[in-house]
Chain A
Amino acid sequence: MHTKTIKQLAEGLRAGTFSSVELTQHFLTRIEKFHALNAFITVTQEHALTAAKQADKRLAEGNAPLLTGIPFAHKDIFCTHGIKTSCGSKMLDNFIAPYNATVVDKLHHAGAVMLGKLNMDEFAMGSSNENSFYGAAHNPWHENVVPGGSSGGSAAAVAAGLAVCATGTDTGGSIRQPAAFCGITGLKPSYGRVSRYGMIAYASSLDQGGPMARSAEDAAILLQAMAGFDEKDSTSINEPVPDYSRHLTESLQGLKIGLPKEFFQHGLNNQIAQDIDNALNEYRKLGATIIELSMPTLTMAIPAYYVLASAECSSNLSRYDGVRFGHRCEHPADLTDLYLRSRAEGFGSEVKRRILMGTYALSAGYYDAYYLKAQKIRRLISDDFQHALTQVDVIMSPVTPSHAFTLGEKTADPVHMYLEDLYTIAINLAGLPAMSIPIGLSADTPEAPKLPVGLQLIGAYFSEAKLLNIAHAYQQVTNWHQLIPTGFE
């Protein structure tokens, strides 16, 4: 049951082949069985079974929405009323949210059954899941390999068949990179497409929630339920949500694909470059033409991103002060001691590093040189993309410079870890939608395990339907997205 698509499961539920309770129990059993994967921070078994019962009732009544009774899980960054929402941090290990994120409400109303809350890098800061207070989730393709981050738990759970699909969030690549590392399909929507209300903020101007699934078809269904204007989020955009599933099967004849040469230079793993070539050949066969682009500002994306994201994070994370909720140190001597020790004990080192960088970048005398300059670069990058997207329908690129790395490999060198985001962060700076789809597997050798490879598809604002169409067309002629890691069949 865990290898079926949402549509197949929805049909099974409606045909009475299995009930939502049975389906939910199946996934709960798998979650228990593959506990060592550490994909979940919290499993909400009772909650899930209750929701499944309600879903069965709704299904019996007829007219239930497509996601009714489908078991999925939320990244533990979305606030869930009455259920622990940790954001992967010791700081919020004791935090029970008093309200639901808009996305949580929407999926609840859509009838989807929440299995639990998924592991993630602390406050969504990280590219390997190793910054989680709860320990890293493992990559289902190999236990010693990272699942990517920050939505590593989401990617691992979907790849291992512990949930049909999952929510993720993406600030600099946190949906796309783990999707690539775990061989699943992930979509970061246009900024403002999915409400951020109740999604714990890392860098507000970059954060965006999106679907993580086993195919473009499933991602379209999940996005349909997540997207839409929310009056509680001033940055969400009041633009109608198209029917994402309806456009999936449109022809790609005449599609113009742009390849920014800056994304295919030094540092890119040869085998990944080869896999991308193969994927591009499939697209040629589907009727696409390939155009080389030059986008020189892309090389400035990493420094600009780390200044802006850190600056916003330093301010966003000020509320965790031990006064009203979250971790509080024991026996504070005075107010300063309360602040210092609560924050010193509650935050992990990567979070502290970014708070420090951001505080520095915003300080008097440095603001113009760092924050303002980074904003200018952001504008240039955005303009570069806008211009490129007048010449092509979609931009394609690698998602990551190399395959998933082993646990502990990059933790000692933060800059090395930041370079993981080389191909993904510029898209967040520009606010554009982008996807990661699986397009290959590395060779299986005794030294290196067989690991998935992702291709990034980048589109114009609100072109999610087009991206899903382009991804789906590829998935109709290849089967990379259907591969299942050994042991999880």
Chain B
Amino acid sequence: MTTLAERPSASRSRSPFRRPLAETGLGSWFTTVDHKRIGILYFVSAMVFFVIGGVEALLIRLQLATPDGQVLTIDQYNQIFTMHGLTMVFFAVMPLGSAFFNYLLPLMIGARDVAFPRLNAFSYWVFLAAGLFIYSSVLLGGMPDGGWFGYAPLSLVGGDPLGYTIGDATTTQTIAGNTVAEGQRMVFYSLGLQIAGIASLASAVNFIVTILNMRAPGMTLMRMPVFVWMILIVSFLMLFAMPVIGVALWELMMDTSFGANFFDPAQGGDPVLWQHMFWLFGHPEVYILILPAFGIVSEILPVFSRKPLFGYTAIVFSGIAIGFIGWGVWAHHMFAVGLGPVANSAFGLSTMFIAVPTGIKIFNWIGTMWDGRLRLTTPMLFSIGLVAMFTIGGLSGVTHAVVPHNWQQTDTYYVVAHFHYVLFGGAIFGLMAGAYYWYPKATGRLMNERLGKAHFWIQLVGFNLTFAPHHILGLNGMPRRVATYEDGYGWNFWNLVSTVGAFVIALGVLVFIINLVISYKRGAEAGPDPWDARTVEWLTTSPPPPHNWDQVPNIRARDELWQRKYPTQGQREQVRVPAGGSGELEGDVAPGTTAPTEGTTGATQSPYTISDPGYDKGVRHDVHMPSPSYYPLIAAFGLPIAAYGVIFDQPAGFVFYAVGALLVLGGLFGWVLEPPTDPSAEVAHQ
């Protein structure tokens, strides 16, 4: 967005608030613009949503454990399975990715923060506001119940699942003295995702600018860690995919709330347009969910194989290829719609093509591990788990590309098996690997290995118990999205197995959360570089100071930290040297410091930490970090308030519109007029 110029010396008295300056304490979390703290906020919030989505999954599995399940009513089931999908996709996996992006991106490219720190805070608060908004529907007539895909005309149906009155919600109910039109559930869907989309769009712009423009000296594009490449690709996917779903959601809202006719076949609209728009976004979205995990695994495997990443260039370019081809496969979600043989064949082919770059990555990961000195730590186990589980999911994905085969599987549990293997076996395993791997960087303490390994094995077993039977159920014809099924179809046994597996997963996640909590206080001290890692985020202290580095590192190699620790002598041998021991090292390296203990978790001091006294001999810069701000929070929470204007009838609706618009505009104006760094804070960092 265009912002008016912000002169640091401009008067700060114009703000109605006193500028928040505290950088510690509970209140400071609401105003922080530090990418690391925002990353932690993302992680904690996303974990909360992940647990909520998980509980919903357990309810679904309880309902389906036996034929004629009575745990949920049909209406409740529809809400729960819709919210499970929405929560996991938009409020758990995507923000978990954002958590890692936020925390690590500046550290990995040697920057002090992202390009637009306040916009970053805005993204977080908008995401949280969207999640709270969509869940507030529980109190306002029920949660969205049209599936996460929101197919019209089901998404246009009112609240009563048996009263299939297509068209506009006309009946009203009274909630807290205000009338709310019934059938608003999918309005929550359209507006909630709309708001979440704003957060993704803002992050996408922010990350693209940060990666292209904020790299440390020497950090060329082809020296960037693969994870950073994946962030770049994901950001471009979000940049171009979010407006597509944005328009589709507006059209849906116009249909449900204002009587428009985009998707209502009774009025000449076409539900297939919704499907096109949704999957135009939805397929890139799949890669938005999985590529961060691919990036994480590409960081972890080399570290614990003690080898450089095999085929860095191939992995980067196959990631880019996925980003491009990912735009040309959307209609494989619509093979049964009747697009005609030409379209079906073309999209079947493009879908098979996209397996190629994915396969390249798999081979590269195996090549990285091949002949390496493997250390089977928890992050490594989860990474290997991803490679194995994702391969299964990828293979069942290729079977979907075969159109006649697809017609057999469409809308069966086989599809459910496929996408859980790629999104749980892929994305969640990868994100959990990342959590174990970078937890010591964020907290200064290692997570408990014993609990971590227990978590891995419980989750691996539970995951396969849950989702492998879905393949069989699907091939036996069990349709997905059904609230219950009758006895006698031969589905009973595998459904029960799947339900048992779901509870095993829940146990694993519980172990994970316990580990996260207890390691915060009781974990072993990590030191800056506990894993003997390769990339520069391990160069600074754990946790890093607010400004990340006193001196930004000069990057001379892809595995910069590794090269510093083990300067190459000859072709293959690498000799570990004390820091600065090689005469070839220049620049920001200070001589005379100790080497870390090899490969142990007990290393207390990296040779290049910013606490290194050697730095005092070099040039020290005063660092002015952006000051905290209230405005991102204010502007963000204006959005859901304005959105309630659509939900509530007039005149209450107008009040919501007005208050929401006032908060958004006021927040933006305050933001623009406020200097990024408060003048009075300039002396704070020395």
User: Does B bind A?
Assistant: no
Residues of A in contact with B (beta carbons under 8 Å apart): none
Residues of B in contact with A (beta carbons under 8 Å apart): none
